[in-house]
């Protein structure tokens, strides 16, 4: 890793599982916990974050030679803030229900550490193609994480997935706590443990093969 | 509602009921990252409270005078450059960029100022200051102020400041509690896969459950303050007299019926007034007067 710069495809694969932004790097936890009471807002949130991440990475990567070191964080945040404003207005215009549900968490994408850390770690150092691959990979990883947490919470909390009833009330009395704030922390903690537990098995399997 | 009660309610609800960390999930990164020891956690909490107050003050000023629809400064500039006076100037679309700019620059200035004039303070929480720029809690406070200033009952500067300080105090409470718990967790035998952030999140879940117990406290506070005021200020406030008089007045015009019954009840239960002083103070008074008058 230190000697050669990772290529676009490496970056892309990296983002999804090996360096998953949520489970591996614990970045951007604020929306991960806040909007995952159900799958629909979680997917919308992931889409908005992906849009902002990809656009910001493209811009930062193309102006990376002009950046002054002491001003770069400010430039990153202003770039991100511009795209977040676009995403927020878009959601308010075309998906007003989702915009109401997500509320302040759309503007809070600005301070999502995931995007700033990708700008800092990848796109301010590498060219357009690797940073594009990195952005898409990272957003897929983020979507995966959000969807897994939201799926568990919605299924256990209401017995539904995407608002379709999977477990009817006669079988499953929803655990109300799962769609409340404590359920978010609990699900996230347990899934984190699960990922920690499963991933060494995969690694061992790869080494043996 | 009274301004004072509103302020207390804003403070309590920002600090404990809708705690920034455990209810709104803002500021999770430092909550998990800087909560290994109590003293650093407390320092981080104080730094956040400090910055959040300054940023909220600035963002209220900017929102009120520049950003909100029909803001005075923006309207003045619009008209000074020959714009149509009938237009409502609305710059809310600029708000996110403005807030990020305000937060980043205020963190920068606070850091420079503290380093220059309060070196011990800088040593205590100087390292946390740059981290605070990307703390969601501060932007969240600014956004809430934007929502309330453009809302139906606009917040004044005092509301915004009390909200910000309450939020900062709530953040400090949450992160200090968490650090205390994690110091104890170091001694525990945690399953290997859950070590580190996993068990911290589960502990945070239990903390959040505990904080859910505060739900509805604000209504209790409001009613208790109101009843306390009603007791102490009853003679001075006209509204409460209007409420109580109609109960008393009908008893006074017919004293002719009262004396006989009242005298009997007085004789029959002379110890009763001591047992129930609050429930029927006025009838006994009236009956005593009635008994004396003839």
> Each residue of A98-157: pLDDT tens digit?
888 888 888 888 888 888 888 888 888 888 888 888 889 889 999 999 999 999 988 888
d(CA A5, CA B175): 38
Higher pLDDT pick, A2 / A151: A151
CB contact under 8 A, A192 and B194: yes
Asked if pLDDT for residue A68 goes beyond 90, the answer is: no
Instruction: For residues A132 and B22, give the distance between their C-alpha atoms in angstroms, rounded to a whole number.
Output: 35
Distinct helix (H) and strand (E) counts, chain B:
15, 0
Residue contact A189–B212, C-beta within 8 A: no
The predicted structure's pLDDT at residue B173? 92
Residues A34, B104: C-beta atoms closer than 8 Å: no
Q: From the CB of residue A58, how many other CB atoms can be counted at a distance below 10 Å?
A: 17
Buried (b) or exposed (e) across B104-117, using 16+ Cβ within 10 A?
Answer: bebbeebbeebeee
Provide the token pair at B14: 């920002």
Contact between chains at A185 and B193 (C-beta distance less than 8 A): no
State how far the Cα of A6 lies from the Cα of A130, in Å rounded to an integer: 8
- CA B262 to CA B280: how far, in whole Å? 12
Phi, psi of B195 (to 5 degrees): -60, 145
Query: How many helical (H) and strand (E) elements, i.e. helices and strands, does chain A have?
Result: 8, 2
Contact B100 A189 (CB under 8 A): no
Q: Do residue B136 and residue A30 have CB atoms under 8 angstroms apart?
A: yes
Give Cβ neighbours of residue B237 (< 8 Å, ≥ 6 apart).
B229, B230
Q: Does residue B272 register a pLDDT over 70?
A: no
Percent pLDDT > 90 in chain A is 20
Query: B55 near B103, Cβ under 8 Å?
Result: yes
Q: CA dist A31 to A36, A151, B165, Å?
A: 8, 15, 23
- Partners of residue B135 in chain A, C-beta under 8 Å: 111
**In chain A, which residue's Cα lies nearest the Cα of B146?**
A104
Cβ of A108 within 8 Å of Cβ of B193? The answer is no
CA angle at residue B148 from B146 to B149, to 5 degrees?
65
**3-state DSSP assignment of residue A165:** strand
Instruction: Kindly list the residues from chain A whose CB atom is less than 8 angstroms away from the CB atom of residue B193.
Output: 193-194, 196-197
pLDDT score of B281? 45
What count of other Cβ atoms lies within 10 Å of the Cβ of residue B57? 17
Give A111's contacts (C-beta < 8 A, 6+ positions apart): A30, A77, B100, B133, B134, B135, B136, B139
Contact A151, A90 (CB under 8 A): no
By a Cβ cutoff of 8 Å, what residues of chain A touch chain B? 26-27, 29-30, 33-34, 73-74, 77-78, 81-82, 84-85, 88-89, 104, 107-108, 110-113, 116, 177, 180-186, 188-190, 192-194, 196-197
Contact A181, B23 (CB under 8 A): yes
For residues B118 and B114, give the distance between their C-alpha atoms in angstroms, rounded to a whole number.
5
Nearest to B68 by CA among B137, B142, B151, B138: B151
Hey, are the CB atoms on A181 and B208 less than 8 Å from each other? yes
pLDDT of residue B83: 77
Position B212 scores a pLDDT of 86
Instruction: Tell which wins on pLDDT, B24 or A172.
Output: B24
A186 and B202: CB-CB below 8 Å?
yes
B131 touches chain A (CB under 8 A): no
pTM tops 0.95 = no
The model's confidence at residue B242, banded by pLDDT at 50, 70 and 90, is very low
Residue of chain B minimizing CA distance to A192? B198
| Chain B residues 2-31 with a CB less than 8 Å from chain A | 22-29
8 Å CB contact between A192 and B189: no
Choose between B245 and A152: higher pLDDT.
A152
B112 touches chain A (CB under 8 A): no
Does the pLDDT value for residue B271 go beyond 80?
Answer: no
CB burial class (10 A; 0-12, 13-18, 19+) of residue B25? buried
SS3 of residue B118 by DSSP: coil
Report how far residue A4's alpha carbon sits from residue A125's, in angstroms, rounded to the nearest whole number.
Answer: 13
């Amino acid at each position: 890793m230190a000697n050669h710069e990772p290529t676009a495809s490496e970056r892309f694969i990296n983002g999804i599982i090996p360096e998953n932004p949520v489970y591996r790097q614990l970045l951007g936890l604020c929306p991960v916990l806040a909007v995952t009471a159900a799958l629909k807002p979680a997917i919308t949130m992931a889409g908005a974050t992906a849009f902002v991440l990809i656009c910001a990475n493209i811009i930062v990567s193309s102006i990376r030679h002009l950046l002054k070191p002491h001003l770069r964080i400010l430039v990153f945040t202003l770039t991100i803030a511009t795209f977040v404003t676009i995403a927020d207005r878009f959601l308010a215009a075309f998906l007003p229900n989702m915009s109401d549900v997500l509320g302040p968490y759309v503007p809070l994408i600005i301070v999502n550490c995931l995007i700033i850390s990708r700008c800092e770690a990848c796109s301010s150092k590498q060219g357009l193609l690797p940073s594009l691959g990195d952005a898409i990979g990272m957003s897929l990883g983020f979507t995966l994480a959000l969807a897994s947490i939201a799926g568990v919470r919605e299924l256990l909390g209401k017995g539904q997935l995407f608002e379709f009833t999977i477990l009817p009330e006669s079988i499953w009395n929803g655990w109300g706590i799962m769609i409340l704030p404590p359920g978010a922390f609990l699900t996230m903690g347990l899934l984190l443990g699960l990922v920690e537990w499963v991933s060494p098995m995969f690694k061992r399997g790869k080494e043996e093969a | 509602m009274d301004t004072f009660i509103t302020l207390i309610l804003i403070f309590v609800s920002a600090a404990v009921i809708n705690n920034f960390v455990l209810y709104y999930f803002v500021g999770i990164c430092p909550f998990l990252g800087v909560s290994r020891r109590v003293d650093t956690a407390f320092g981080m909490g104080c730094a956040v409270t400090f910055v959040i107050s300054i940023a909220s003050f600035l963002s209220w000023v900017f929102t009120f005078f520049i950003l909100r629809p029909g803001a005075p400064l923006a309207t003045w500039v619009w008209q000074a450059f020959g714009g149509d006076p009938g237009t409502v100037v609305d710059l809310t679309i600029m708000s996110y960029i403005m807030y990020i700019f305000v937060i980043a620059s205020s963190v920068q200035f606070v850091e420079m100022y503290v380093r220059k004039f309060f070196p011990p303070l800088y040593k205590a929480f100087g390292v946390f200051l740059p981290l605070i720029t990307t703390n969601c809690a501060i932007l969240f406070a600014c956004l809430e102020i934007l929502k309330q200033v453009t809302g139906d009952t606009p917040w004044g500067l005092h509301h915004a400041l009390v909200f910000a300080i309450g939020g900062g105090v709530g953040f400090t409470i949450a992160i200090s509690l968490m650090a205390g718990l994690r110091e104890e967790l170091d001694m525990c035998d945690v399953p290997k896969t859950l070590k580190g952030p996993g068990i911290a999140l589960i502990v945070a879940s239990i903390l959040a459950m505990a904080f859910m117990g505060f739900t509805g406290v604000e209504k209790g506070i409001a009613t208790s303050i109101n009843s306390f005021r009603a007791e102490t200020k009853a003679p001075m406030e006209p509204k409460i007299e209007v409420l109580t008089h109609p109960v008393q007045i009908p008893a006074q015009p017919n004293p002719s019926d009262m004396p006989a019954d009242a005298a009997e009840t007085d004789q029959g239960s002379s110890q009763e007034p001591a047992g129930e002083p609050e429930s029927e103070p006025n009838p006994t008074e009236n009956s005593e007067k009635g008994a004396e008058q003839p």
